[in-house]
Structure 1
Amino acid sequence: MTGEAPQPGAADPLGLHGVVPPTVTAFHEDESLDTEATAAHARFVVDHGATGVFPLGTNGEFPLVTGDERRAVVECVVDEVGEEVPVIAGVGAPSTRETVAHAEDAAAVGADGVVVVTPYYYPLDGDAAVAHYERVIEAVDVPVYVYHIPSKTGNALSLDTVDRLAEAGVAGIKDSSKDVPWLGQAIDAHPELTFLAGSDSLLYPGLQVGCTGMVSAVANVFPELVVDLFDAYDAGERDRARELQSRVYDVRDAIKRGPYMAGVKTALTLREDTPSAGPLRSPLRTMDDTDREALADDLRELALL
């Protein structure tokens, strides 16, 4: 960082910033876990400029893997890149008990921090949410980050609850709400926390309101594009950063075609210098030939293949 991008919060010992891709979980064709390819994907994004990795986020298909598989994913990623960049592992689950167990496993195999998605399925009030995060904070000696994605969990955090989470000791928030006023107010109230923009639609705007980095699905396939965006902003080249955000919009639109989540893994097979991550795990499904060819055409038009 050269100084133009927002600085990480003082409550974040990892100082997360820059591009932190939500790396994929690779599977063999029979949908069994492929740790070698999972580690190879983490290596790919780090070699192309990522300043951290976030295994077992949404792109990592975390709800579809077992506890033992989660531990194996974190361990193989830590072994591959953990000496070079922070590894913040997704550990969220609907129950506090299971979340704590995942967090303890991740810390035991070397994760630098854990990312806890807001519990899902059952509605939560602020008291329940705070108690959940307090249990995780008490259980592990690594920083705990909140993953706020109410469109998927059904549980949005109020700004008052964010105040209480900051008091409880969270290190930061990865926000995928796409609620810019909420994000701006949370950052304004808690400069001591690190905030990460969690949507490719808000990378540049996220930096403008105070996010120190970006958890970008596009960066799983084209990390250098998102790294260039961050570096341009950090260097004070705002016009170039805006242009690169526009380019990210185009890539995002391309990979969002077809079945949910299919775009990233399909695009990885189209880019010749990336390791294959295999299929998605059922019930998610990959692109059919028509969507795959359309994606390839879009990426060629964008001069990315």
Structure 2
Amino acid sequence: MGGQPESAVRRLRDGMADGVLSFPLTSFHPDGSLDVEGFRTYVAGQLAAGPGALFPACGTGEFFSLAEDEYRQVVTVAVEEAGVGVPPREGARARGRVPVVAGVGYGWAQAARFARVAEEAGADALLVLPHYLVAAPQDGLVAQLEQLAARTSLPLIAYQRGQVTYTAASLTRIARIPGVVGLKDGHSDLDRLQRLTLAAPDGFLFFNGAATAEIQARAYATVGVPAYSSAVHAFAPEIADAFFAALRGGDHDAVDKLLRDFYVPLVELRDRVPGYAVSLVKAAARLRGRPVGPVRAPLTDPSPADLADLRTLLAAGLDLVGASL
């Protein structure tokens, strides 16, 4: 691994220790077309909240719905805005530009095309989203990363979720692939995850990528995975940062209150309709005046009744941390 990837991984590791990981929404106009300037404004707001890293065009960013040229624009804007620079959050170390980790996915050939686009746009690393449709044996999962790693100079973070699950033996193999530097876990199987962390070499990155990761953040930390992504950061960084500070500061009363009065009700609302893990987040951002627009099919925007419940819950959550809608 060359000097530039090493620098990117070091900044990513530092960022994961200092703040939540931001997975920005992708902005669309009402007609469904890409809203580049809306996305620029939105990303600038995300960065101002001081995330540990920025992950554009991933699951929350509706990677699956983006054309290649749209993907290029999204990643380019994220890199440009991250390059502007923002002061670190209080208590966080100064660590330079926030690292930008772009999503890639589908089969390795398509992922490699998106990887070239992300590299040209200036991304620091790639998150390899679960492949499309088919279940695959462990040898195939390893080969998928080998094929992609051979076609990009950017560091890769594997994402196990859905039909992708690595064994400890496979984790050992993928950690030896030049350029594979970490794993995002979305399964929440802590027994399996503990086996993976024990099998990994020193310095291998792990982070909690469960849906509404804060719910399980304490449990993940017990198996050596304290870093996590936050969908809530996409619409209420005030709440996400308050939870992060309470968790890292050992304020269990504050953690429990936020979980009980905001995060658990949010998960219950999210679970009403498939796809709300993205569309509910986007609706909450719109409620706060963020220029993100609607979701693209096959996702659907929340019903009026669910939107009303979301507004009430969001106002209550912001009130818990002294912020307003």
* TM-score bracket relative to the smaller structure: 0.7 to 0.9
* Aligned position for 2:80: 79
Query: Equivalents in 1 of 2:238, 2:221: separation in Å?
Result: 17
* Aligned position for 1:21: 22
Unaligned runs of 5+ in 1: 1-8
Determine if the alignment matches structure 1 residue 187 to structure 2 residue 197.
yes
* Aligned position for 1:196: 207
* Aligned position for 2:268: 253
Please give the secondary structure, in 2, of the residue aligned with 1:283: coil
Superposed counterparts of 1:150-299, under 5 Å: 150=162, 154-169=163-178, 170-190=180-200, 191-199=202-210, 200=212, 201-246=215-260, 247-258=262-273, 260=275, 261-272=278-289, 275-299=290-314
Classify 1:182/1:250 alpha carbon distance in 2 versus 1 (closer, same or farther; 3 Å): same
Please give the secondary structure, in 1, of the residue aligned with 2:127: strand
CA contact (8 A) 1:12 1:193 kept: no
% of aligned pairs identical? 29
Please give the secondary structure, in 2, of the residue aligned with 1:139: coil
Corresponding letter in the other structure for 2:169:
D
Structure 1 residues 255-304: Cα deviation after superposition (integer angstroms, max 9, x where no partner): 554552321111112124xx220010112111222221121122233336
Superposition TM-score, scaled by structure 1 size: 0.87
Query: Equivalents in 2 of 1:38, 1:11: separation in Å?
Result: 24
State the shift of 1:87 in Å.
0.6
Query: Equivalents in 1 of 2:198, 2:258: separation in Å?
Result: 26
Query: Equivalents in 2 of 1:101, 1:113: separation in Å?
Result: 14
Please give the secondary structure, in 1, of the residue aligned with 2:176: helix
Superposition TM-score, scaled by structure 2 size: 0.82
Please give the secondary structure, in 1, of the residue aligned with 2:206: strand
Unaligned runs of 5+ in 2: 1-5, 86-96
State the shift of 1:249 in Å.
2.8
Please give the secondary structure, in 1, of the residue aligned with 2:225: coil
* Aligned position for 2:104: 91
Q: Which moved more, 1:191-200 or 1:204-213?
A: 204-213
CA contact (8 A) 2:208 2:220 kept: yes
| Matched residue count | 291
CA contact (8 A) 2:8 2:125 kept: no
Let me know the Cα RMSD of the aligned residues. 2.3
Query: Equivalents in 2 of 1:11, 1:279: separation in Å?
Result: 33
CA contact (8 A) 2:158 2:184 kept: yes
* Aligned position for 2:94: none
Classify 1:47/1:11 alpha carbon distance in 2 versus 1 (closer, same or farther; 3 Å): closer
